[in-house]
Structure 1
Amino acid sequence: MRSFPYPDAGSPDLRSPSRFLWWLAKAQRATLLLGIIYGSLWTVSQALIPYVLGQAIDLGIVAGNFRALAGWVALLLGLTLIQAVTSTLRHRAAVSNWMQAAFRCSQLIGYKVTRSGDALPQKFSTGEVVSTSASDAMRIGEIFDVSARLAGSIVGYLLVAFLVFQSSWQLGLVVLFGVPLCGAMLLFVIRPLQKRQKDQRDAAGKMTALGADTVTGLRVLRGIGGEHIFVERYRERSRETQLAGNKVAYSLADLDAAQVLVVGVFSVAFTWIGAMQALSGQIETGQLVALYGYAVFLVSPIRTASDAVSRFIRANVGARRIIDVLATPSAVHDGGTTVGAPSAPSALLDSSSGALIQPGLLTGIVSADPAASAELARRLGRFEDAVLREAQVLWGEAALHLVPLGDVRSRIVVSDAEPQLFTGTLREELDPSGRHNDAGIMAAIDVASAADVFDGLEHGLDDEVTEKGRGFSGGQRQRLALARALLTGAEVLVLIEPTSAVDAHTESRIATALKTERRTEANTTVVVTASPLMLGAMDTVYFLDSEERLTQGTHHQLLATVPDYRNVVIRGAGMDGHADRGHEPDGPADDNHSTSSSEGQR
């Protein structure tokens, strides 16, 4: 049993599709070699059967030698047994090669997605990346599946050519040059197939991308009554993909027809020449039977070769798409790091704004411009190294973008304003690494004031979470994400609008519990929010005005002395208060606070 994913997927060669495929082949050369060996033995045993059958006829039946006939029949049975065993082993190796290549490609794409920051979403839509991983990776695997049969076909073709030469040099030349000629004739049909497959792949990628984008914004579309517009767009894309697929099917039908025609003409010509030589006495009866068997056998190498070319074209198209994804420069890099992470909890200094985040404190971030506070949070979380080179963030004495990425990700955690929940048990969702017992998980849930989540769950922490947490209301999803962030035990925790979708009473409890939980010397907590309830629990607050001038103080000090801050916070508090909307699986939030508190930040 082979275990996936690989401990290390490796560093792929992205210079061209052919080099990438060759790199994949080298990465699994052991099983490829096994497949080639089994495929060669399987094909050789097939190729030898007509020869043994001819010898049995000439040396056994025609010669009247029963002992010789018994020997050749025993050899024939042995070849049949070898063919059966090697066929099974070849198929197992071929499937293994297919899965290894496909899984390695998917793993590379997965690593790229998790390590590229915002660089990949800026270039590709979610649907395109999903299509690359799900479709193109499997197409690449196909070429490694056919490799064992192709290698065996080449060996079998050369063996048959040698055996035919023993009977007739004229027929030997027909085999030696006729088989490659038949394969070359099929290229005229395969070439249009390449372009049509590329067009079909592009159309399918656009359709998948549109579908993913539509599903992502489905609730918004329903709210404004725009579903029918996107449904029509998806239908158009689907129709284009269907037409492109039909063209591919036409080419595949032409290829199948050409295979039947070319191979049929070759087999008839080969058999006819052999029959003429048998009538003239140039070859024996058994040799004629063997020649007919060779003609039937040679159908397989020709078809395998054309199939391999077709699959290589698809794999080449898929490899080019995967290279486009993998070659996208990452927003963060882990190479060339020269500075170690601070050994103890240290302050974070953002040189662009002048904000100094002290360890052991709860720090609030408020901005008149939502983009400014969002960018500050991104800098503290090291989302883009290029930005940090221009607006450097110091972690203690070390430049944050020079610290090993693993240390940054394990000690600095950013919980986004729109957190994602994934399919699985609630326990796995909240504690993916399995570091906490039930008591620890429930303690984090209490801090996030998310105990009401269990009201509708039969199995508690072992209950299944639906995709994107659609079984929970907006506020429940947000509070579960807060509990998940707390369970990371991160030294620096950056929370972006963690309570924008909960009512005022719940928000007050969260603010109090968060202050108790995180106010230790080992913890640094940054909360980006405009909610006065959360800001009132902060030890210190930084306010960025419209000209990005920084003012520091407590919440009450800034309310009394900075009019712009007071305007933002009052707008953040809203005029309608908070009204819990309860359990609404498809609702964007639990209450009106989602459209009032967040206005100051969005």
Structure 2
Amino acid sequence: MQIQDLPYPDPGVPDARSGPRFLWWLGRNQLTGQLKSLAWGLLHFLSVSLLPFCVGHAVQAVVDRSGGRLAAAGGLMALCGAGIAVGDTFLHRAAVTNWITAAARVQQLLARHAAHLGSALTRRVAAGEVVAVSTGDVEKIGWFVEAVSRFTAAALTVVLVCAGLVVYQPALGVVLAVGLPLLAIAVLPLLPRATRRADVQREKAGRATELASDTVAGLRVLRGIGGEELFLDRYRRASQEVRHAAVRSARMWSLIAAIQVLLPGLLLIAVVWYGVHLVRQGRIGVGDLVTVYSTVTVLAYPLHHVEEIAMAYSFSRPSARRAARVLSLERATDAAGTHTAGATPHGDLYDPASGLLAPAGLLTAVVCGDPDAAGRLADRLGGHSAEPGPSVLLGGVPLDDLPLAGARTAVLVQDKDPVLLSGSLRALLDVPRSGAVTAEDALAAAQCEDVLAALLQGSPSAAEPLDARLTERGRSLSGGQRQRLALARSLVTDPEVLVLDEPTSAVDSHTEARIAQGVRRLRAGRTTVVFTSSPLLLDRADRVVLVHEGSVAAVGVHRKLLREEPRYRAVVTRETEEDTAARGALRGDDVVDGLRHIEETA
């Protein structure tokens, strides 16, 4: 796999049972790239390790006054130099390719799984953790995957060189064969503590990222209530905790690095002392001593990869654990796809858990006093729920028996806080659709005339409204304008069932009345479920359902429920018990007539 071939046609099915298993799965799926990196690494490290042999032969040739042997040593040094250059170049190329392709695979897996889970993801995993996994964690996972092959090449080089030295010069070779493995394992007792400190650092960094994400998302509200300094102080404290954890982690890694400098130095001193003793006894030549001395010096280079692989694993293990946790999440009951492929069911939408029934072809309004419970119920109607329970039925067919794509096509759920992506308005409305509803009709039903004017004003080069540009998340628009564009996007898809969660909570009453009329007209003959407490929308519904404490408590039309159902009236009119007593003989019809007057004057 080359970088230019990204993204993968299919990133595969990951082994998400644990972090180490996930890392092993990634490495196994890049076996060709790992072998390339291993081959170039061996060429590079062996070429570096053979230089001392060439230098030693050159020195001994000078001592023996042998010009032929000196020329041969020079030729070998030139070959080693070429091997170092070629090996290092292609090793770096292969390593970077492995790093980027591994990171890209993880990002594809996360993106695919996020689309699979939908809104259930952020209810089960903190938004800050999702951000941390898809950014910094991806890089650390890629680092470990590519470092494995370089470490393997370095370890094999050390083993081969030690074996060669034992054969070439047994007296000093045995010392190195025993000393070098001890150097490699000397830092192992420190690794668990370093790993724990790295885990603490990553955990605190994830919390700080989550806090920053929540603060940015609620910045407008914070400014309105004067809470900016409060959250800024919280982030300062979280940031300082991350800094302290990073310093403690860096201290441990600096100790490991110091040991890896100190111990090879002590080994070098021991080898030189013993080698000089052997030279004075005449057991080895000066060139042999230079060879062994240079070998010890050069082998410190591949030995540094022991420290790197330990550090890479320590940082990537918690990252892989978080990624595996996200990738292991499943919907409450993942679609088995037992329904006939390509057949979209028709009929009533029914939720056995709450008893909610939305008859086919009607506009059903749902009133729920708990906004969070309403959001969960809306997700369950679309098959996005992360909670266990019986499946929602569409035309008698469980949504969990539909393929995921079929369930998403049959039932579309618009979240309470829909996201608008940057780009042109035409691209925003370029979504899978039935073709029965045009973009112009959807925009008109959602009352987007002023939104189009605002977008045209901000995009002077746009030839027509659909070519106007949207900024990131529609930040240049008001909350009500963004809400109406999201509603238009949902309407243009024209799904079999459309579920809207508070689609007009940020618009004024006059616009809301026109939207209620437009949605009813455009969705005539199609099943629509609206979660709302707005009297203007409720009065336009064919059927109103009151959900109290997770179950259907009353069913009827708006005016009747307003007169006869106190719990319904309390949610819709926001009245307290004192308000109820003060209201006295005020009839529900009077309230409705007042709301009707607002609609007529709109």
TM range (shorter): 0.7 to 0.9
SS at match of 1:298: helix
Q: What is the aligned partner in structure 2 of residue 449 from structure 1?
A: 447
Q: What is the aligned partner in structure 2 of residue 412 from structure 1?
A: 411
Cα distance change on mapping 1:511 and 1:297 into 2, 3 Å: same
**Whole-Å separation in 1 of the counterparts to 2:251 and 2:139:** 22
Q: What is the aligned partner in structure 1 of residue 591 from structure 2?
A: none
Aligned equivalent of 2:555, options 551, 558, 579: 551
- CA deviations 1:426-467 (Å, max 9, x no partner) are 44444367999xx95444333322232324321545555444
Correspondence 1:534 to 2:537: yes
Cα distance change on mapping 1:243 and 1:571 into 2, 3 Å: closer
Q: 1:23-62 alignment to 2 at 5 Å?
A: 23-58=25-60, 62=64
Q: What is the aligned partner in structure 2 of residue 126 from structure 1?
A: 127
Correspondence 1:115 to 2:116: yes
**Whole-Å separation in 2 of the counterparts to 1:352 and 1:185:** 60
SS at match of 1:549: strand
**Whole-Å separation in 1 of the counterparts to 2:506 and 2:140:** 43
2:46·2:157 contact (CA, 8 Å) conserved in 1? Answer: yes
**Whole-Å separation in 2 of the counterparts to 1:425 and 1:277:** 80
1:38·1:148 contact (CA, 8 Å) conserved in 2? Answer: no
Q: What is the aligned partner in structure 1 of residue 304 from structure 2?
A: 303
Aligned equivalent of 2:528, options 510, 525, 528: 525
Q: 1:111-260 alignment to 2 at 5 Å?
A: 111-116=112-117, 120-260=121-261
Correspondence 1:515 to 2:520: yes
**Whole-Å separation in 1 of the counterparts to 2:495 and 2:24:** 42
Cα distance change on mapping 1:375 and 1:242 into 2, 3 Å: closer
RMSD of equivalent CA atoms: 3.3
2:208·2:238 contact (CA, 8 Å) conserved in 1? Answer: yes
Q: What is the aligned partner in structure 1 of residue 480 from structure 2?
A: 475
Cα distance change on mapping 1:189 and 1:363 into 2, 3 Å: closer
- CA deviations 1:171-213 (Å, max 9, x no partner) are 1111211111112222344443222212211221222222222
**Whole-Å separation in 2 of the counterparts to 1:147 and 1:346:** 56
- CA deviations 1:497-542 (Å, max 9, x no partner) are 222222334334333333343325xx4322223334434544x122
Q: 1:458-473 alignment to 2 at 5 Å?
A: 458=459, 459-460=461-462, 461=466, 465-473=470-478
Letter in 2 for 1:525: T
Letter in 1 for 2:92: H
Q: What is the aligned partner in structure 2 of residue 581 from structure 1?
A: none
Correspondence 1:17 to 2:15: no
The alpha-carbon deviation at position 558 of structure 1 amounts to 6.1
Letter in 1 for 2:103: A
- CA deviations 1:231-279 (Å, max 9, x no partner) are 2222111111111111112112222222221121122322333333334
1:43·1:155 contact (CA, 8 Å) conserved in 2? Answer: no
TM-score calculated relative to the size of structure 1:
0.84
**Whole-Å separation in 1 of the counterparts to 2:308 and 2:356:** 63
1:496·1:527 contact (CA, 8 Å) conserved in 2? Answer: yes
1:39·1:87 contact (CA, 8 Å) conserved in 2? Answer: yes
**Whole-Å separation in 2 of the counterparts to 1:299 and 1:352:** 66
**Whole-Å separation in 1 of the counterparts to 2:80 and 2:327:** 47
Cα distance change on mapping 1:464 and 1:304 into 2, 3 Å: farther
Cα distance change on mapping 1:344 and 1:242 into 2, 3 Å: closer
Cα distance change on mapping 1:255 and 1:428 into 2, 3 Å: farther
**Whole-Å separation in 2 of the counterparts to 1:198 and 1:561:** 58
Cα distance change on mapping 1:435 and 1:55 into 2, 3 Å: farther
**Whole-Å separation in 2 of the counterparts to 1:515 and 1:508:** 11
**Whole-Å separation in 2 of the counterparts to 1:374 and 1:184:** 55
SS at match of 1:349: strand
Residues 529-538 or 226-235, more deviating:
529-538
SS at match of 1:417: coil
Structure 2 unaligned residues grouped into runs of 5+: 576-594
TM-score calculated relative to the size of structure 2:
0.84
Q: What is the aligned partner in structure 1 of residue 579 from structure 2?
A: none
Letter in 2 for 1:476: Q
**Whole-Å separation in 2 of the counterparts to 1:123 and 1:416:** 17
Residues 371-380 or 41-50, more deviating:
371-380
- CA deviations 1:57-87 (Å, max 9, x no partner) are 4458835344x54444333222212221221
Structure 1 unaligned residues grouped into runs of 5+: 573-592, 598-602
**Whole-Å separation in 2 of the counterparts to 1:558 and 1:191:** 65
The alpha-carbon deviation at position 217 of structure 1 amounts to 2.4
Letter in 1 for 2:404: L
The alpha-carbon deviation at position 6 of structure 1 amounts to 2.9
Q: What is the aligned partner in structure 2 of residue 584 from structure 1?
A: none
Cα distance change on mapping 1:503 and 1:183 into 2, 3 Å: same
**Whole-Å separation in 2 of the counterparts to 1:379 and 1:550:** 20
The alpha-carbon deviation at position 413 of structure 1 amounts to 0.7
Cα distance change on mapping 1:329 and 1:352 into 2, 3 Å: closer
1:355·1:550 contact (CA, 8 Å) conserved in 2? Answer: no
Residues 495-504 or 509-518, more deviating:
509-518
1:385·1:401 contact (CA, 8 Å) conserved in 2? Answer: no
**Whole-Å separation in 2 of the counterparts to 1:244 and 1:371:** 36
Q: What is the aligned partner in structure 2 of residue 81 from structure 1?
A: 82
1:423·1:468 contact (CA, 8 Å) conserved in 2? Answer: yes
**Whole-Å separation in 2 of the counterparts to 1:359 and 1:180:** 74
**Whole-Å separation in 2 of the counterparts to 1:79 and 1:152:** 17
The alpha-carbon deviation at position 23 of structure 1 amounts to 1.4
Letter in 1 for 2:448: A
**Whole-Å separation in 1 of the counterparts to 2:135 and 2:394:** 40
- CA deviations 1:134-158 (Å, max 9, x no partner) are 2222222222232232122122212
Letter in 2 for 1:518: R
1:119·1:328 contact (CA, 8 Å) conserved in 2? Answer: no
**Whole-Å separation in 2 of the counterparts to 1:221 and 1:96:** 44
- Aligned pair count reads 565
**Whole-Å separation in 1 of the counterparts to 2:170 and 2:215:** 66
SS at match of 1:499: coil
1:496·1:529 contact (CA, 8 Å) conserved in 2? Answer: yes
**Whole-Å separation in 2 of the counterparts to 1:119 and 1:525:** 22
**Whole-Å separation in 1 of the counterparts to 2:433 and 2:151:** 46
